[in-house]
Structure 1
Amino acid sequence: MQQSVDLHVRSYGPSGAPDRHDYAQLVLPVRGSVLLEIGGKQGRLDAQTAGFVAAGAWHDQWGEQANSSIILDLATIEPQAGERLYARPFAAVNPAARKLVEFMAIMTEQQAAASSVVQGWVPLLLDALTLEAPRPESRLAALRAKIEADPGLPWTVESMAQSVGVSVSRLHALFRLEHDQSPHDWLLERRLARACEWLARTNRPIAELALSAGFSEQSALTRAMRKAMDTTPAAYRRQSRENWSK
Protein backbone atom coordinates (compact mmCIF):
# COMPACT_ATOMS: atom_id res chain seq x y z
CA MET A 1 0.00 0.00 0.00
CA GLN A 2 1.50 3.35 -1.06
CA GLN A 3 0.89 6.41 1.07
CA SER A 4 -0.61 9.48 -0.61
CA VAL A 5 1.24 12.45 0.83
CA ASP A 6 1.33 16.24 0.64
CA LEU A 7 4.19 18.18 2.25
CA HIS A 8 4.02 21.67 3.73
CA VAL A 9 6.35 23.79 5.86
CA ARG A 10 4.63 25.86 8.55
CA SER A 11 5.43 28.10 11.51
CA TYR A 12 3.05 28.50 14.45
CA GLY A 13 2.35 31.60 16.51
CA PRO A 14 1.44 31.98 20.20
CA SER A 15 -2.21 31.13 19.63
CA GLY A 16 -3.94 28.65 17.38
CA ALA A 17 -7.43 27.57 16.41
CA PRO A 18 -8.79 24.04 16.92
CA ASP A 19 -9.11 22.14 13.67
CA ARG A 20 -9.90 18.71 12.30
CA HIS A 21 -9.67 17.11 8.87
CA ASP A 22 -10.41 13.82 7.15
CA TYR A 23 -6.75 12.84 6.68
CA ALA A 24 -3.98 11.99 9.12
CA GLN A 25 -1.14 14.41 9.72
CA LEU A 26 2.45 14.11 10.86
CA VAL A 27 4.10 17.17 12.45
CA LEU A 28 7.92 17.14 12.32
CA PRO A 29 9.67 20.18 13.86
CA VAL A 30 12.77 21.31 12.02
CA ARG A 31 13.52 24.40 14.11
CA GLY A 32 12.29 25.37 17.57
CA SER A 33 9.44 23.61 19.34
CA VAL A 34 5.66 23.41 18.98
CA LEU A 35 2.96 22.61 21.53
CA LEU A 36 0.39 20.22 20.10
CA GLU A 37 -2.92 19.28 21.69
CA ILE A 38 -4.79 16.25 20.34
CA GLY A 39 -8.16 15.38 21.83
CA GLY A 40 -7.28 17.04 25.15
CA LYS A 41 -3.79 15.51 25.39
CA GLN A 42 -0.89 17.92 25.09
CA GLY A 43 2.74 17.34 24.13
CA ARG A 44 5.76 19.40 23.14
CA LEU A 45 7.23 18.63 19.74
CA ASP A 46 10.87 19.31 18.90
CA ALA A 47 13.81 17.69 17.13
CA GLN A 48 13.38 14.57 19.30
CA THR A 49 9.56 14.32 19.24
CA ALA A 50 7.08 14.16 16.34
CA GLY A 51 3.32 14.50 16.54
CA PHE A 52 0.69 12.34 14.85
CA VAL A 53 -2.86 13.59 14.36
CA ALA A 54 -5.31 10.87 13.37
CA ALA A 55 -7.93 11.58 10.72
CA GLY A 56 -10.93 13.31 12.26
CA ALA A 57 -9.18 14.21 15.54
CA TRP A 58 -9.60 17.70 16.97
CA HIS A 59 -6.22 19.33 17.47
CA ASP A 60 -4.56 22.66 18.11
CA GLN A 61 -0.96 23.82 17.93
CA TRP A 62 1.00 26.91 18.88
CA GLY A 63 4.59 28.05 19.19
CA GLU A 64 6.13 30.10 21.96
CA GLN A 65 9.23 31.07 19.97
CA ALA A 66 10.42 31.04 16.37
CA ASN A 67 9.70 27.61 14.91
CA SER A 68 9.36 25.72 11.66
CA SER A 69 7.87 22.28 11.04
CA ILE A 70 7.41 19.93 8.13
CA ILE A 71 3.77 18.88 7.90
CA LEU A 72 2.92 15.67 6.07
CA ASP A 73 -0.75 15.28 5.14
CA LEU A 74 -1.35 11.53 4.84
CA ALA A 75 -4.44 10.78 2.77
CA THR A 76 -3.66 7.09 3.19
CA ILE A 77 -1.41 5.27 5.64
CA GLU A 78 -0.55 1.63 6.14
CA PRO A 79 -2.75 0.16 8.92
CA GLN A 80 0.20 -1.08 11.01
CA ALA A 81 1.93 2.31 11.01
CA GLY A 82 -1.38 4.10 11.64
CA GLU A 83 -2.21 1.90 14.62
CA ARG A 84 1.21 2.35 16.19
CA LEU A 85 1.15 6.12 15.78
CA TYR A 86 -2.45 6.38 17.00
CA ALA A 87 -1.45 4.56 20.18
CA ARG A 88 1.57 6.82 20.63
CA PRO A 89 0.79 10.20 18.99
CA PHE A 90 3.85 11.89 20.50
CA ALA A 91 6.50 9.67 18.91
CA ALA A 92 10.20 9.72 19.70
CA VAL A 93 12.34 10.71 16.70
CA ASN A 94 15.30 8.34 16.64
CA PRO A 95 18.54 9.25 14.79
CA ALA A 96 17.46 7.45 11.62
CA ALA A 97 14.14 9.30 11.48
CA ARG A 98 15.88 12.59 12.27
CA LYS A 99 18.18 12.20 9.29
CA LEU A 100 15.17 11.69 7.05
CA VAL A 101 13.46 14.80 8.45
CA GLU A 102 16.63 16.83 7.88
CA PHE A 103 16.82 15.50 4.31
CA MET A 104 13.23 16.56 3.63
CA ALA A 105 13.97 20.02 5.06
CA ILE A 106 17.00 20.43 2.79
CA MET A 107 15.07 19.25 -0.27
CA THR A 108 12.25 21.68 0.54
CA GLU A 109 14.65 24.61 0.98
CA GLN A 110 16.13 23.79 -2.41
CA GLN A 111 12.61 23.59 -3.85
CA ALA A 112 13.42 20.06 -4.90
CA ALA A 113 10.77 18.23 -2.88
CA ALA A 114 9.00 16.81 -5.91
CA SER A 115 6.01 14.60 -5.22
CA SER A 116 7.83 11.44 -6.28
CA VAL A 117 10.71 12.20 -3.92
CA VAL A 118 8.43 12.83 -0.94
CA GLN A 119 6.33 9.76 -1.69
CA GLY A 120 9.47 7.67 -1.75
CA TRP A 121 10.89 8.76 1.59
CA VAL A 122 7.67 8.66 3.66
CA PRO A 123 7.44 4.84 4.03
CA LEU A 124 10.99 4.74 5.37
CA LEU A 125 10.23 7.63 7.75
CA LEU A 126 7.13 5.87 9.08
CA ASP A 127 9.13 2.69 9.58
CA ALA A 128 11.81 4.64 11.44
CA LEU A 129 9.15 6.13 13.74
CA THR A 130 7.21 2.93 14.39
CA LEU A 131 9.43 -0.11 13.81
CA GLU A 132 12.76 -1.32 15.11
CA ALA A 133 14.06 -1.94 11.59
CA PRO A 134 12.85 -0.55 8.24
CA ARG A 135 11.34 -3.07 5.85
CA PRO A 136 13.02 -3.80 2.49
CA GLU A 137 9.93 -2.44 0.71
CA SER A 138 10.31 0.91 2.48
CA ARG A 139 14.02 1.01 1.73
CA LEU A 140 13.15 0.34 -1.91
CA ALA A 141 10.81 3.35 -1.90
CA ALA A 142 13.60 5.50 -0.45
CA LEU A 143 16.02 4.21 -3.09
CA ARG A 144 13.60 5.12 -5.84
CA ALA A 145 13.23 8.62 -4.38
CA LYS A 146 17.01 9.05 -4.18
CA ILE A 147 17.38 8.03 -7.83
CA GLU A 148 14.47 10.26 -8.89
CA ALA A 149 16.26 13.18 -7.23
CA ASP A 150 19.54 12.52 -9.07
CA PRO A 151 19.46 9.72 -11.66
CA GLY A 152 22.89 10.76 -12.92
CA LEU A 153 24.73 9.28 -9.95
CA PRO A 154 26.81 6.19 -10.84
CA TRP A 155 24.13 3.68 -9.92
CA THR A 156 24.58 -0.01 -10.62
CA VAL A 157 22.27 -2.87 -9.74
CA GLU A 158 24.83 -3.89 -7.11
CA SER A 159 24.93 -0.44 -5.49
CA MET A 160 21.13 -0.27 -5.59
CA ALA A 161 20.91 -3.61 -3.76
CA GLN A 162 23.45 -2.41 -1.20
CA SER A 163 21.42 0.76 -0.59
CA VAL A 164 18.30 -1.31 0.11
CA GLY A 165 20.25 -3.82 2.21
CA VAL A 166 19.28 -6.88 0.19
CA SER A 167 20.94 -9.23 -2.28
CA VAL A 168 20.85 -8.54 -6.01
CA SER A 169 18.41 -11.40 -6.52
CA ARG A 170 16.12 -10.06 -3.79
CA LEU A 171 16.28 -6.59 -5.36
CA HIS A 172 15.19 -8.08 -8.68
CA ALA A 173 12.28 -9.80 -6.94
CA LEU A 174 11.18 -6.54 -5.26
CA PHE A 175 11.29 -4.61 -8.54
CA ARG A 176 9.42 -7.37 -10.35
CA LEU A 177 6.74 -7.33 -7.65
CA GLU A 178 6.28 -3.55 -7.54
CA HIS A 179 7.15 -2.47 -11.10
CA ASP A 180 7.07 -5.63 -13.22
CA GLN A 181 10.52 -4.78 -14.56
CA SER A 182 14.15 -5.24 -13.62
CA PRO A 183 16.13 -2.69 -11.57
CA HIS A 184 18.25 -1.93 -14.64
CA ASP A 185 15.22 -1.29 -16.85
CA TRP A 186 13.61 0.93 -14.20
CA LEU A 187 16.84 2.93 -13.80
CA LEU A 188 17.18 3.36 -17.56
CA GLU A 189 13.56 4.51 -17.74
CA ARG A 190 14.15 7.18 -15.07
CA ARG A 191 17.33 8.38 -16.75
CA LEU A 192 15.55 8.63 -20.09
CA ALA A 193 12.71 10.57 -18.47
CA ARG A 194 15.13 13.07 -16.94
CA ALA A 195 17.05 13.47 -20.21
CA CYS A 196 13.80 14.07 -22.09
CA GLU A 197 12.73 16.65 -19.53
CA TRP A 198 15.99 18.57 -19.99
CA LEU A 199 15.83 18.25 -23.78
CA ALA A 200 12.36 19.78 -23.82
CA ARG A 201 12.87 22.50 -21.19
CA THR A 202 16.51 23.61 -21.42
CA ASN A 203 19.16 24.60 -23.92
CA ARG A 204 21.84 22.49 -22.31
CA PRO A 205 24.15 20.76 -24.81
CA ILE A 206 23.03 17.21 -25.48
CA ALA A 207 26.40 15.74 -24.51
CA GLU A 208 26.29 17.56 -21.17
CA LEU A 209 22.75 16.57 -20.22
CA ALA A 210 23.40 12.97 -21.29
CA LEU A 211 26.20 12.74 -18.70
CA SER A 212 24.06 14.48 -16.04
CA ALA A 213 21.24 11.98 -16.64
CA GLY A 214 23.59 9.04 -16.09
CA PHE A 215 24.59 8.05 -19.62
CA SER A 216 28.27 7.42 -20.35
CA GLU A 217 28.22 9.68 -23.41
CA GLN A 218 25.88 11.30 -25.92
CA SER A 219 25.89 8.25 -28.18
CA ALA A 220 24.65 6.08 -25.28
CA LEU A 221 21.67 8.39 -24.84
CA THR A 222 21.03 8.33 -28.57
CA ARG A 223 21.03 4.52 -28.65
CA ALA A 224 18.69 4.34 -25.65
CA MET A 225 16.23 6.81 -27.17
CA ARG A 226 16.27 5.06 -30.53
CA LYS A 227 15.52 1.72 -28.88
CA ALA A 228 12.87 2.94 -26.43
CA MET A 229 11.27 5.82 -28.35
CA ASP A 230 12.38 5.48 -31.98
CA THR A 231 13.83 8.99 -31.99
CA THR A 232 17.07 10.85 -31.29
CA PRO A 233 17.85 13.55 -28.71
CA ALA A 234 18.01 16.29 -31.34
CA ALA A 235 14.75 15.17 -32.97
CA TYR A 236 13.01 14.91 -29.60
CA ARG A 237 14.13 18.44 -28.65
CA ARG A 238 12.99 19.83 -32.00
CA GLN A 239 9.59 18.09 -31.82
CA SER A 240 9.03 19.17 -28.22
CA ARG A 241 9.62 22.80 -29.10
CA GLU A 242 7.41 22.60 -32.16
CA ASN A 243 4.59 21.21 -30.02
CA TRP A 244 5.17 23.88 -27.38
CA SER A 245 5.01 26.71 -29.94
CA LYS A 246 1.66 25.59 -31.36
Structure 2
Amino acid sequence: MRPHALLNLDIRSYGGVSAPHRHDFAQLVLPLRGTLAIDIAGREQQLDAFRAAFVETGLPHSQEGDRANRSLIVDLDLTQLAPEVADRLVARPFLPLAPMANRLIDYMSLVAGGDGAQDDQLEHWLPLLLDALVQTPARPQSRLAALLGQIEAAPGQPWTTERMAERIAMSVSRLHALFRSELDTTPAAWLSELRLRRAREWLANSDASIAELAFRAGYSDQNALTRAMRRTTGLTPAAYRRQSRATDRPE
Protein backbone atom coordinates (compact mmCIF):
# COMPACT_ATOMS: atom_id res chain seq x y z
CA MET A 1 0.00 0.00 0.00
CA ARG A 2 1.21 3.52 -0.78
CA PRO A 3 2.77 5.19 2.31
CA HIS A 4 -0.08 7.40 3.56
CA ALA A 5 2.27 10.25 4.53
CA LEU A 6 3.13 10.74 0.84
CA LEU A 7 0.38 12.63 -1.00
CA ASN A 8 2.11 13.21 -4.33
CA LEU A 9 5.49 12.96 -6.05
CA ASP A 10 6.37 14.97 -9.14
CA ILE A 11 9.29 16.38 -11.14
CA ARG A 12 9.03 20.11 -11.86
CA SER A 13 11.06 23.04 -13.13
CA TYR A 14 10.50 26.68 -12.16
CA GLY A 15 11.07 29.89 -14.08
CA GLY A 16 10.85 33.54 -13.09
CA VAL A 17 9.66 34.69 -9.67
CA SER A 18 6.50 33.04 -8.38
CA ALA A 19 3.97 34.88 -6.22
CA PRO A 20 3.96 33.82 -2.53
CA HIS A 21 1.57 30.94 -2.02
CA ARG A 22 0.62 28.33 0.60
CA HIS A 23 -0.37 24.66 0.63
CA ASP A 24 -2.57 22.67 2.97
CA PHE A 25 0.14 20.02 2.98
CA ALA A 26 3.89 20.01 3.64
CA GLN A 27 6.41 19.81 0.83
CA LEU A 28 9.98 18.67 0.24
CA VAL A 29 11.85 20.40 -2.59
CA LEU A 30 14.73 18.16 -3.67
CA PRO A 31 16.96 19.64 -6.43
CA LEU A 32 17.96 17.40 -9.32
CA ARG A 33 19.82 19.93 -11.45
CA GLY A 34 20.46 23.65 -11.61
CA THR A 35 19.75 26.05 -8.74
CA LEU A 36 16.51 27.27 -7.21
CA ALA A 37 16.13 30.28 -4.91
CA ILE A 38 13.32 29.72 -2.44
CA ASP A 39 11.86 32.03 0.20
CA ILE A 40 10.01 30.34 3.08
CA ALA A 41 8.22 32.80 5.38
CA GLY A 42 10.93 35.42 4.84
CA ARG A 43 13.90 33.05 5.01
CA GLU A 44 15.67 32.67 1.67
CA GLN A 45 18.23 30.11 0.54
CA GLN A 46 19.64 28.79 -2.73
CA LEU A 47 18.88 25.12 -3.34
CA ASP A 48 21.30 22.93 -5.25
CA ALA A 49 22.92 19.50 -5.08
CA PHE A 50 24.01 20.23 -1.50
CA ARG A 51 20.81 21.75 -0.04
CA ALA A 52 17.09 20.90 -0.12
CA ALA A 53 14.10 22.63 1.45
CA PHE A 54 11.16 21.63 3.62
CA VAL A 55 8.05 23.83 3.47
CA GLU A 56 5.79 23.40 6.47
CA THR A 57 2.02 23.17 5.97
CA GLY A 58 0.51 26.62 5.52
CA LEU A 59 3.75 28.62 5.34
CA PRO A 60 3.96 31.26 2.59
CA HIS A 61 6.74 30.56 0.11
CA SER A 62 7.91 31.63 -3.33
CA GLN A 63 10.68 30.52 -5.67
CA GLU A 64 12.80 31.67 -8.58
CA GLY A 65 14.69 29.21 -10.75
CA ASP A 66 17.45 29.39 -13.29
CA ARG A 67 16.69 28.22 -16.82
CA ALA A 68 17.95 24.68 -16.25
CA ASN A 69 16.53 23.87 -12.81
CA ARG A 70 14.65 20.67 -12.09
CA SER A 71 13.46 19.37 -8.72
CA LEU A 72 11.76 16.33 -7.26
CA ILE A 73 8.72 17.64 -5.32
CA VAL A 74 7.30 15.48 -2.53
CA ASP A 75 3.96 16.48 -0.96
CA LEU A 76 3.53 15.15 2.57
CA ASP A 77 0.84 14.86 5.22
CA LEU A 78 2.78 15.86 8.35
CA THR A 79 0.21 14.32 10.66
CA GLN A 80 1.11 10.89 9.31
CA LEU A 81 4.84 11.18 10.05
CA ALA A 82 6.47 10.09 13.28
CA PRO A 83 6.37 13.13 15.62
CA GLU A 84 10.15 13.25 16.03
CA VAL A 85 10.65 13.27 12.25
CA ALA A 86 8.03 15.99 11.71
CA ASP A 87 9.53 18.10 14.52
CA ARG A 88 13.04 17.90 13.04
CA LEU A 89 11.80 18.88 9.59
CA VAL A 90 9.80 21.83 10.94
CA ALA A 91 12.80 23.03 12.96
CA ARG A 92 15.12 22.84 9.98
CA PRO A 93 13.53 24.09 6.72
CA PHE A 94 16.84 24.06 4.81
CA LEU A 95 18.37 20.61 4.76
CA PRO A 96 21.95 19.68 3.84
CA LEU A 97 22.09 16.81 1.36
CA ALA A 98 24.57 14.07 2.18
CA PRO A 99 25.70 11.65 -0.57
CA MET A 100 23.21 9.01 0.63
CA ALA A 101 20.27 11.42 0.33
CA ASN A 102 21.40 12.47 -3.16
CA ARG A 103 21.56 8.85 -4.29
CA LEU A 104 18.03 8.22 -3.02
CA ILE A 105 16.78 11.37 -4.77
CA ASP A 106 18.49 10.44 -8.05
CA TYR A 107 17.03 6.94 -7.87
CA MET A 108 13.45 8.08 -7.34
CA SER A 109 13.75 10.79 -10.02
CA LEU A 110 14.64 8.08 -12.55
CA VAL A 111 11.72 5.94 -11.40
CA ALA A 112 9.29 8.86 -11.45
CA GLY A 113 10.56 9.94 -14.88
CA GLY A 114 9.85 6.51 -16.33
CA ASP A 115 6.53 4.71 -16.05
CA GLY A 116 5.81 6.11 -12.60
CA ALA A 117 6.75 5.02 -9.12
CA GLN A 118 5.25 1.80 -7.81
CA ASP A 119 3.69 1.63 -4.36
CA ASP A 120 6.28 -0.81 -3.02
CA GLN A 121 9.11 1.43 -4.25
CA LEU A 122 7.59 4.45 -2.51
CA GLU A 123 6.96 2.46 0.64
CA HIS A 124 10.66 1.69 1.01
CA TRP A 125 12.04 4.92 -0.42
CA LEU A 126 10.26 7.55 1.68
CA PRO A 127 11.39 6.32 5.15
CA LEU A 128 14.98 6.00 3.90
CA LEU A 129 14.90 9.52 2.47
CA LEU A 130 13.40 11.07 5.61
CA ASP A 131 15.96 9.29 7.77
CA ALA A 132 18.83 10.53 5.56
CA LEU A 133 17.48 14.11 5.73
CA VAL A 134 16.80 14.41 9.46
CA GLN A 135 19.92 12.52 10.56
CA THR A 136 22.34 14.63 8.48
CA PRO A 137 24.11 17.19 10.71
CA ALA A 138 24.67 20.71 9.46
CA ARG A 139 28.15 20.91 7.97
CA PRO A 140 30.65 23.74 8.35
CA GLN A 141 32.10 25.35 5.24
CA SER A 142 34.00 22.70 3.35
CA ARG A 143 37.75 23.10 3.16
CA LEU A 144 37.38 21.63 -0.32
CA ALA A 145 34.96 24.36 -1.46
CA ALA A 146 37.43 26.29 -3.64
CA LEU A 147 38.68 23.14 -5.36
CA LEU A 148 35.18 21.78 -5.93
CA GLY A 149 34.15 25.10 -7.46
CA GLN A 150 37.05 24.99 -9.92
CA ILE A 151 36.25 21.43 -10.97
CA GLU A 152 32.51 22.10 -11.28
CA ALA A 153 33.27 25.06 -13.56
CA ALA A 154 35.42 22.91 -15.87
CA PRO A 155 34.62 19.20 -15.45
CA GLY A 156 36.17 18.37 -18.82
CA GLN A 157 39.68 19.26 -17.69
CA PRO A 158 42.09 16.37 -16.88
CA TRP A 159 41.45 16.33 -13.12
CA THR A 160 43.80 13.73 -11.71
CA THR A 161 44.04 13.39 -7.94
CA GLU A 162 47.58 14.76 -8.17
CA ARG A 163 46.33 17.88 -9.93
CA MET A 164 43.53 18.33 -7.39
CA ALA A 165 45.97 18.04 -4.48
CA GLU A 166 48.35 20.50 -6.09
CA ARG A 167 45.57 23.08 -6.51
CA ILE A 168 45.02 23.26 -2.74
CA ALA A 169 48.62 22.62 -1.72
CA MET A 170 48.26 19.30 0.05
CA SER A 171 49.34 15.72 -0.40
CA VAL A 172 47.27 13.19 -2.29
CA SER A 173 46.75 11.16 0.89
CA ARG A 174 45.49 14.25 2.72
CA LEU A 175 43.16 15.02 -0.20
CA HIS A 176 41.68 11.52 0.03
CA ALA A 177 41.22 11.92 3.78
CA LEU A 178 39.38 15.24 3.33
CA PHE A 179 37.08 13.84 0.66
CA ARG A 180 36.29 10.89 2.91
CA SER A 181 35.62 13.00 6.00
CA GLU A 182 33.67 15.81 4.33
CA LEU A 183 31.90 14.09 1.42
CA ASP A 184 32.06 10.38 2.34
CA THR A 185 33.56 9.52 -1.03
CA THR A 186 36.85 9.55 -2.95
CA PRO A 187 38.09 12.26 -5.36
CA ALA A 188 37.69 9.91 -8.33
CA ALA A 189 34.17 8.85 -7.35
CA TRP A 190 33.09 12.46 -6.74
CA LEU A 191 34.51 13.51 -10.11
CA SER A 192 32.71 10.63 -11.86
CA GLU A 193 29.39 11.63 -10.27
CA LEU A 194 29.92 15.29 -11.21
CA ARG A 195 30.73 14.47 -14.83
CA LEU A 196 27.72 12.21 -15.14
CA ARG A 197 25.46 14.83 -13.52
CA ARG A 198 26.72 17.52 -15.91
CA ALA A 199 26.26 15.21 -18.89
CA ARG A 200 22.66 14.52 -17.83
CA GLU A 201 21.95 18.25 -17.39
CA TRP A 202 23.37 19.09 -20.81
CA LEU A 203 21.58 16.21 -22.51
CA ALA A 204 18.27 17.47 -21.15
CA ASN A 205 18.87 21.17 -21.89
CA SER A 206 21.21 21.39 -24.88
CA ASP A 207 20.87 20.47 -28.53
CA ALA A 208 24.63 19.91 -28.87
CA SER A 209 25.71 16.53 -30.19
CA ILE A 210 26.23 13.71 -27.71
CA ALA A 211 29.88 13.42 -28.75
CA GLU A 212 30.46 17.11 -27.99
CA LEU A 213 28.72 16.88 -24.61
CA ALA A 214 30.75 13.78 -23.72
CA PHE A 215 33.97 15.70 -24.40
CA ARG A 216 32.80 18.76 -22.41
CA ALA A 217 31.94 16.56 -19.45
CA GLY A 218 35.36 14.93 -19.42
CA TYR A 219 34.72 11.61 -21.15
CA SER A 220 37.26 10.34 -23.66
CA ASP A 221 34.57 9.80 -26.30
CA GLN A 222 30.86 9.17 -26.80
CA ASN A 223 31.25 5.46 -26.10
CA ALA A 224 32.71 6.19 -22.65
CA LEU A 225 29.69 8.35 -21.80
CA THR A 226 27.33 5.70 -23.12
CA ARG A 227 28.92 3.05 -20.89
CA ALA A 228 28.67 5.33 -17.83
CA MET A 229 25.04 6.19 -18.57
CA ARG A 230 24.06 2.55 -19.09
CA ARG A 231 25.81 1.54 -15.87
CA THR A 232 24.10 4.19 -13.71
CA THR A 233 20.73 4.83 -15.39
CA GLY A 234 20.17 1.87 -17.67
CA LEU A 235 19.72 4.30 -20.57
CA THR A 236 21.84 5.44 -23.48
CA PRO A 237 22.51 9.21 -23.70
CA ALA A 238 20.03 9.52 -26.58
CA ALA A 239 17.33 7.66 -24.64
CA TYR A 240 17.98 9.75 -21.54
CA ARG A 241 17.65 12.96 -23.60
CA ARG A 242 14.31 11.82 -25.04
CA GLN A 243 12.96 10.75 -21.64
CA SER A 244 14.07 13.94 -19.86
CA ARG A 245 12.40 16.18 -22.41
CA ALA A 246 9.23 14.12 -22.45
CA THR A 247 8.86 14.27 -18.64
CA ASP A 248 9.99 17.87 -17.95
CA ARG A 249 6.96 19.83 -16.74
CA PRO A 250 7.42 23.58 -16.29
CA GLU A 251 5.23 25.10 -13.58
**Partner residue, 2:177:** none
Identical counterparts, % of pairs: 42
| Residue among 37, 50, 53 paired with 1:51 | 53
Partner Cα distance (2:123, 2:17) in 1: 31
**Partner residue, 2:130:** 126
1:33 correspondence with 2:32: no
**Partner residue, 1:9:** 11
Distance 1:21 1:112, change over 3 A: closer
1:70 Cα deviation from its structure 2 partner: 0.4
For the residue of structure 2 that corresponds to 1:21, the secondary structure is coil
Matches within 5 A, 1:153-168: none
For the residue of structure 1 that corresponds to 2:27, the secondary structure is strand
Distance 1:132 1:16, change over 3 A: closer
Deviation per CA, 1:85-135, whole angstroms, max 9, x where unpaired? 1111110010111100000111112223123322321111000011269xx
1:77 Cα deviation from its structure 2 partner: 2.5
Letter in 2 for 1:5: L
| Residue among 90, 93, 96 paired with 2:97 | 93
Answer 1 or 2: higher relative contact order, Cα 8 Å, separation at least 6. Answer: 2
Matches within 5 A, 1:38-187: 38-75=40-77, 76-131=80-135
Aligned length: 133
Deviation per CA, 1:14-49, whole angstroms, max 9, x where unpaired? 121211111110000101111111000001111111
- Structure 1's consecutive aligned runs of 4 or more residues displaced over 6 angstroms after TM superposition are none
Structure 1 unmatched ranges of 5 or more: 134-246
**Partner residue, 2:184:** none
Letter in 2 for 1:47: A
Structure 2 unmatched ranges of 5 or more: 138-251
Distance 1:57 1:132, change over 3 A: closer
CA contact (8 A) 1:7 1:118 kept: no
Matches within 5 A, 1:185-200: none
What CA RMSD, in Å, does the superposition of the two structures yield over aligned residues?
Answer: 1.9
For the residue of structure 2 that corresponds to 1:47, the secondary structure is coil
TM-score (structure 1 length as normaliser): 0.51
**Partner residue, 1:22:** 24
Partner Cα distance (1:18, 1:70) in 2: 20
Deviation per CA, 1:132-172, whole angstroms, max 9, x where unpaired? 69xxxxxxxxxxxxxxxxxxxxxxxxxxxxxxxxxxxxxxx
CA contact (8 A) 2:101 2:129 kept: yes
TM-score (structure 2 length as normaliser): 0.50
